[in-house]
Structure 1
Amino acid sequence: MMTALKSRAAMSITNETAIALIGMYCMAVVMGFGRFLFTATLPDIMTQLPLSTTIAGWLASINYIGYFIGAFISMFVPQRLTWRMLILWTTVSVITTTLLVVPNMSLNLWYVIRLVSGIASGVAMILSSSLVIQSFNHERRSVLSAVHYGGIGVGISASAILTWWLLSIGYHFEMIWLNAGLISLPLLWLLYAIRPTDSITSQPHNHQTSSIRQTYINFKRSLYEAAAGHSKPIALLLASYMLAGFGYITSATFLPVMAAQRLTTQAYAGLSIWLVVGIFAMLSNPIWGALAKRIGEIKTLMGLTLLQALGMYLPIGIDGAIGLYANAMILGLTFVGMVSMTLTLMKNINPIYSNLLMGLATLAYALGQFVGPLVTVALAGENDNFNAGLLVAAVGLLIGLALVFFFWRQSTLLTRASV
């Protein structure tokens, strides 16, 4: 009996496809629920509490600043602690999702929960990618990585379907968040089952802790070495990625609210539009990955940025459902692909310091996401008109496109100089 229990406790999953699917599940939980379920439930939250557009914008932005903090934390996680920290922060993500069922919480407690949820999303997103992708062999890495990142679209779709279903049978946002937490629980067991068994995770802990000053010195040295000879391309890509985060977040936060405002004759219009975002997000990585193999990541990223800028303008230029649904399709198709292309480009600048550079890029993206909703609600005014926010988002993306173009030129010059 004891032997059987030990065998069951020690059970592990090593199949690459299974690990990719677990990675997809993890991304759906920490990103789809931890970050984007708020978008799906926002119209109901604003009605039930009730909340002004300004407060809703701050609740969104506080989650994104948490994501910024989480990305920063992940940069200092030692490789041997990746799995343990992933388990910890995924657990925190599930708890903060479930906590929103508590009735009559103060606004300050909402802020705290959304902040901690953002931190958990930032850490778990980066660490899950590091842990899962390193499990794939080189030949299947691109395909299985697309499965892993497809979890973002799966989570967005699941958040729309879950919200739609529970609202239609008379429940409100509290039960939606509770059910999302319950759906997330099996992930913790599955993450335990993919615990690494190599020497990196089994080596003993070093009990000599570095001082804060020494940690800072080591980080500064690594940053200097990572950027040596590449400072201009890094700066251009970081700036463009920050504008990408700023550009997409207006739709990613307020699209269901815009739909509820404009499509008043359609029940649950906001959720059907949000479901479209999720479906097209699931499709995006395989499509753009195949295109990048033909024309390269930089040209693909430029095309995606231009397409997303066009998508931001469509709800302004085309009235009614067509403009909103077109925005949803383009948003889903582009934002995951832009993340994937940018992180790949950043990693390739200096592969030895890929984790550090990808962490810096994620910080820039999170900063853009933090600022975006605040600018949008400031421009929305008392009438809650989001057109100005969409227009500013489109302009920001076009500036980002110009920066990617200069990055392309700078990279070409450096390549020629090294030949």
Structure 2
Amino acid sequence: MMVAMGIGRFAFTPILPLMQRDLGISNSLAGGLASLNYAGYLAGALICAVCPHILRYTSVNVTALVACIATTFLMGFTQSPYWWGALRLISGVASAMLFVVIAIEVTETMVRSSHSRWSSALYGGIGLGIALSGVFTQILDRFGGWSAAWLGMGGISMILSLVGILVAGKRRGAVSIPSVSSPSTGTLTGISRLATAYFLEGVGYIVSATFLVTMITHTAGLARFAPWSWVAVGLAAAPSTVIWQQIAYRIGVRHALTLAYLLQACGILLSSIATQPFSAGLAAIIFGGTFLGIVSLAMAEGTRRSGADARRAAAILTVCFGAGQVIGPPLAGLLADQQGGFSLPLILAGSTVVFGGILVATDRNFSAGSSYKK
């Protein structure tokens, strides 16, 4: 998960300021490249939703892992926006397929071993990957700027993958997934409002996930702090899934998820006015401490509602999340270039997340006892 998501998807965020500094790429181009990655993610999620049986095959999963590593590595070998776009697109497809299959494999393994309450800890790997990319991007920058950063992160991804394989030992390489010809109507109906709220989260959170380090880099007096803000995001994200799970134990999933949405919106809005290291750091910590919590709670709730069709529900939710991520970055980048800053994109992003929180708060499909105690 560190390789597939923490680096494969999100290393772009700390490396982006280096690409803008060394190559002068615009926010619009950056938003377009991000959107292509998320379009690939959406495509990968759709593949998993429509053809879940392909996740049975070891060859498919291994190919996705190799593609995730290779596309990170190859970003440092070209200055062509077209090749960058193609690489980010392929990386998105691979990341989505790995995300779904890893989530299923780990969740089912934890259930079999009677440790399902800790399955959300898996998503902490994304935060660790984010923190790792934030730290090493600064180090790699000294050896060769933006190109060295991409090459180095590709190498680190390879090492992490090998370590993961060695630690896991000899295990089956693909999960057992039944063939299902079409989505269950009950599944689609039961998670429709949750999926809409998850879509809005995808639209809103991705603005910060793409441009946070760039925004802080271009804020007077904060340039030196900018790379560390991404480390703060990752370190806050790593334990957040377990923390939000414990909150859900106490107050129920709907209240916990609503709280996470509204808290994240406050963090996004705070980042639009942050001019000091403290406020910028607080915004980064709030963002990191909520976005994976929302992912883990929403995915768990979708699984609970869908019963035997949980695998397809996970893919459907991932599709909705991916669709939102495709929309956010290009609009934010275009508005940032037109407005000369990210204040308006951040305000719109925060407002979108608020609407998502309202949908969660008014969703009657959460049962009265809908918490992890059940």
Instruction: Give the residue type in structure 2 aligned to 1:43.
Output: P
- Structure 2 counterpart of 1:175, from 148, 159, 165: 148
Q: CA deviation at 1:348?
A: 0.9
The aligned counterpart of 2:255 is 299
Q: By how many angstroms is 1:138 displaced? A: 4.5
Change (3 A) 1:172 1:297: same
**Which residue in 1 is equivalent to 2:215?**
258
Take 1:288 and 1:174, find their aligned partners in 2: how far apart are those partners?
37
Amino acid at match of 1:237: L
Max radius of gyration: which structure? 1
Please name the residue that 2:187 is paired with.
Answer: 226
Q: Distance in 1 between matches of 2:163 and 2:223?
A: 40
Q: What SS class does the counterpart of residue 114 from structure 2 fall into?
A: helix
**Aligned residue pair count:** 365
C-alpha distance in 2, partners of 1:87/1:333?
A: 31
Q: Residue 250 of structure 1 contacts residue 389 of structure 1 at CA under 8 Å; is this kept in 2?
A: yes
Secondary structure of the residue aligned to 1:139 is: coil
**AA paired with 1:115?**
L
C-alpha displacement of 1:190: 4.1
In 2, the alpha carbon distance for the partners of 1:42 and 1:287 equals: 30
Could you say which structure has the greater relative contact order, defined with CA pairs below 8 angstroms and 6 or more residues apart?
A: 2
Pairwise CA RMSD of aligned residues?
2.5
Q: Does 1:241 align with 2:214?
A: no
Match of 1:206 in 2: none
Query: What residue number does 2:293 align with?
Result: 337
Within the candidate set 117, 140, 159, 2:133 is matched to 159
User: Which residue is 1:14 aligned to?
Assistant: none
Residue among 21, 30, 48 paired with 1:56: 30
Measured in 2, the distance between the counterparts of 1:243 and 1:278 equals 22
Partner of 2:317: 361
Equivalences for 1:73-88 in 2 at 5 Å? 73-75=47-49, 76-78=51-53, 81-88=56-63
**CA, structure 1 residues 56+79, in 2 after alignment: closer, same or farther (shift >3 Å)?**
closer
Q: 2:343 corresponds to which residue?
A: 387
CA, structure 1 residues 53+138, in 2 after alignment: closer, same or farther (shift >3 Å)? same
Distance in 2, Cα, partners of 1:413 & 1:239 = 21
Contact 1:87 1:191 in 2 (8 A): no
Cα separation, 1, equivalents of 2:328 and 2:170: 37
The answer (yes or no) to whether the contact 2:27–2:333 under 8 Å persists in 1 is: yes
Q: Indicate if the aligned counterparts of 1:54 and 1:378 stay in contact, CA closer than 8 A.
A: yes
SS of the residue corresponding to residue 126 of structure 2 reads: helix
Residue by residue over 1:281-301, the C-alpha shift from the partner in whole angstroms, topping out at 9 and shown as x without a partner, is 012012111111112211110
1:262 & 1:255 partners in 2: Cα distance? 11
1:247, distance to aligned residue in structure 2 (A): 1.1
Which of 87, 111, 116 is the equivalent residue of 2:90? 116
Letter in 2 for 1:72: L
Contact 2:58 2:173 in 1 (8 A): no
**Shift in Å at residue 382 of structure 1?**
3.5
1:235 to partner: Cα distance: 1.5
Partner of 1:400: 356
Residue 135 of structure 1 deviates from its aligned partner by 2.0
The 8 Å contact of residues 39 and 89 in structure 2, kept in 1 or not, is answered as yes
Structure 2, unpaired ranges of 5+: none
2:31–2:329 CA contact under 8 A, matched in 1: yes
Matched-pair contact (CA < 8 Å) for 1:87–1:188: no
Q: Scaled by the length of structure 2, what TM-score is found?
A: 0.90
Moved over 4 A (4+): 192-195, 197-201, 412-415
Of 35, 41, 44 in structure 1, the residue corresponding to residue 15 of structure 2 is 41
TM-score by length of 1: 0.81
For 2:9, what is the secondary structure of its paired residue? coil
The reply on whether 1:66 has 2:5 as its aligned counterpart is: no
Structure 2 CA distance for partners of 1:309 and 1:78, relative to 1, 3 Å? same
Task: Give the letter for the 2:21 counterpart.
Answer: T
Distance 1:348 1:356 in 2: 12
Judged with a 3 Å threshold, the aligned counterparts in structure 2 of structure 1 residues 344 and 82 are, in CA distance, closer, same or farther, namely farther
Q: Deviation per CA, 1:81-109: give whole Å up to 9, x if none.
A: 25432211011101111111214x32111
